[in-house]
């Protein structure tokens, strides 16, 4: 394998240039912005919901032990809703990614491949 004057593999140089070109693209900045705008609020919301569940289990025992139907109490419902909320957020993210992130990512991937061939 030939090594350039700079001591770096030419294939590695092409890949590095391609990565830099993609990294500097406006679409890459937009992709990161869209991702953050989805992930940060949902992470905060989920963590608040989870911490509320933990806090209620620790300090609102009367409320959490309230029977809803038979042996089913509020704590059990809250626990199950933790799983439900996880799946709902995952589904929302999948839908969001398909509509808003994947088109940008596909374009950036194509740009990366074009730049690598140069």
Using one digit for the tens of pLDDT, what is the confidence trace for 17-36?
888 999 999 999 999 999 99
2 pLDDT exceeds 60?
no
Q: pTM value? A: 0.82
Q: What is the pLDDT of residue 105?
A: 96
pLDDT in tens, 31-64: 999 999 999 999 999 999 999 999 999 999 999 9
DSSP the chain: ----TTSS-HHHHHHHHHHHHHHTSHHHHHHHHHHHHHHHHHHHHHHHHHHHHHHHHHH-HHHHT-EEETTEEHHHHHHHHHHHHHHHHHHHHHHHIIIIIHHHHHHHHHHHHHHHH-
Write down the pLDDT at residue 7: 65
pLDDT above 90: percentage of residues in the chain: 78
Where do the structural domains in the chain lie, given as residue ranges? 11-117
**Cα-based angle 9, 14, 18 (whole degrees, multiple of 5):** 145
């Amino acid at each position: 394998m030939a090594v350039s004057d700079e001591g770096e593999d030419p294939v590695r140089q092409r890949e590095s240039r391609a990565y830099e070109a993609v990294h500097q693209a406006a679409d890459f900045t937009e992709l990161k912005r869209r991702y953050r705008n989805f992930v940060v609020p949902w992470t905060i919301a989920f963590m608040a919901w989870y911490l509320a569940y933990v806090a209620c289990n620790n300090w609102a025992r009367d409320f959490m032990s309230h029977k809803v139907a038979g042996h089913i109490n509020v704590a059990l419902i809250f626990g199950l809703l933790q799983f439900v909320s996880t799946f709902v957020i995952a589904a929302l993210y999948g839908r969001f990614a398909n509509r808003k992130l994947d088109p940008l990512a596909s374009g950036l991937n194509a740009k990366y491949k074009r730049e690598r061939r140069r």
